[in-house]
Amino acid sequence: MDLRQLQALVAVSEHGTFSAAAASLHTVQSNVSAHIARLEKELGATLVDRSAGRLTEEGHAVLARARRVNAELDALVSDVAALRYDVSGTVRVGMIGTTGRWLVGPLLRLLDERHRGIHPIFVEGTSASLEPQLAAGDLDLAVVTLPVPGHDMLAQPLFTEDLQLVVHATDPMAARSRVPLGELAELELLLPVPGSALRDEVDAAARRAGVQLRCRAELDGVRFIASLTFEGLGPSILPATAVPSYLRDTWRGVPVYGLPPRLVGVAVRRRGLPSAPARATRAVLQELIEDTEQVPAGVHPVAVAS
């Protein structure tokens, strides 16, 4: 087995056909076909269903490992370069939407100051969509809502963020400095889908307070919920940074007594050593969060144990 065979399989998966895979690898289709055939012969299994144009179950199993091998090779090159010169290379960072909106800009500026050779790729998504990408090796690290599920990832807390009731500025509740959780039972709310970290926090707090929240609709993703609230489809319970500065004259986030803050952290794979660009980006991210002048209102950095 050689690396070209694994690269060919990844390319076929990503581009859909042998010819498109060959173009992406700057080679000819016959080479890609030969690499796949040799890999199948060595493993004793069909990896690509030629008639359907997709990977078999065995192909997907090999694909997951192949992507991890490629990620480790990229990390190897970056680590050696970091020892000889400055840290350089690509880092793939997952970011939940509301956090990415305020965090990516300052992070890019600080990375430019500290490590000009790092090329970041940011992927936005929900915690539920980013965590499998991190586990599969498609991301080097991810900023997600904690806790992370399973045993494939390690996470370090970065900050807590207040949860607030988001209402229109003309709503009587918008003038309040704080509202008790019990009063939210009178509203029809847009809420996250069951099983999401934010929904679990809200439901647990409601149970402790003996409150039955009324749900108008359940939606996957904090930014999705925020966008529909801003369209006037209903109030919602959202993190403090879900209301961008340019909308705060129209929409207000009112602190809710009885709701704990959400915990946000940076997660990495448990197995494998992160690359030099990933380690450097994680350190810069921690430095940025600890600068209280950089974080918006409602965000509270978590002290890192020495």
Tokens at residue 7, please? Answer: 């690269």
Tokens at residue 123, please? Answer: 């992927």
Q: Is 179 left (phi over 0), alpha (psi -120 to 50) or beta?
A: beta
Mean pLDDT across 159-168: 95
* pLDDT tens per residue across span 221-235: 898 999 999 999 999
Return mean pLDDT, the chain: 88
* Domain architecture of the chain: domains with CATH: 3-72 (1.10.10.10), 86-159+263-301 (3.40.190.10), 163-260 (3.40.190.290)
| pLDDT recorded at residue 306 | 44
Burial label, 306 (beta-carbon count in 10 A; 0-12, 13-18, 19+):
exposed
Mean pLDDT across 30-35: 86
* pLDDT tens per residue across span 12-27: 888 888 888 888 888 8
Q: Are strands 251-257 and 163-168 parallel, antiparallel or unpaired?
A: antiparallel
